[in-house]
């Protein structure tokens, strides 16, 4: 429901079928993550905060909404937050409102992008 309210297009990797996928959402079982994150039109990344997606987001200066659930994902997400480059959401208590507010913050507050771009230069 959150994605359907966005004016932006959303590329979403998901293994199962979803009924009533919003028109602005492209749902695929497999996507070339690196190519997508590198694309100049991509403004943000929503991820579990794994090493690959976090490293790629940092490299290409894309702010991150991280929803960790296992292993190193928590540390990666906390590092992104500590540098002011993203937002961490708790998978145990996440709500549609949390997701909506995190996406809005990332897209509307240029500090996240500025900080991520600065981090990518280091």
* Predicted confidence (pLDDT) per residue in 7-57, tens digit: 999 998 888 888 889 999 998 999 999 999 999 999 999 999 999 999 999
- Could you tell me which residue, 20 or 101, shows the higher pLDDT? 101
Residue 20: its pLDDT value, please?
A: 86
pLDDT at 54: 98
- Structural domain harbouring 100: 3-121
Q: Is 112 within 8 Å of 104 (Cβ atoms)? A: no
Residue 57, token pair as written in the block: 């987001």
**How many domains is the chain built from?**
1
What pTM value is reported for the model? 0.90
Distance between CA 50 and CA 60 in Å, rounded? Answer: 16
Q: pLDDT tens digits, residue range 67-77?
A: 999 999 999 99
What CATH number should be reported for the domain holding residue 78?
Answer: 3.40.50.2000
- φ, ψ of residue 116 to 5 degrees: the values are -65, -40
């Amino acid at each position: 429901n959150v994605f359907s309210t966005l004016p932006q297009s959303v590329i979403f990797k998901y293994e199962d079928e979803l009924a009533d996928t919003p028109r602005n959402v492209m749902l695929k079982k497999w996507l070339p993550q690196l190519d997508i994150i590198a694309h100049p039109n991509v403004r943000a990344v929503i991820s579990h905060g794994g090493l690959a997606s976090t490293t790629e987001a940092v490299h290409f200066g894309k702010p991150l909404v991280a929803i960790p659930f296992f292993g190193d994902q928590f540390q990666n997400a906390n590092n992104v937050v500590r540098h002011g480059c993203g937002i961490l959401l708790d998978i145990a208590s996440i709500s549609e409102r949390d997701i909506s507010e995190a996406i809005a913050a990332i897209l509307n507050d240029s500090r996240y992008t500025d900080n991520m771009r600065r981090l990518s230069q280091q």
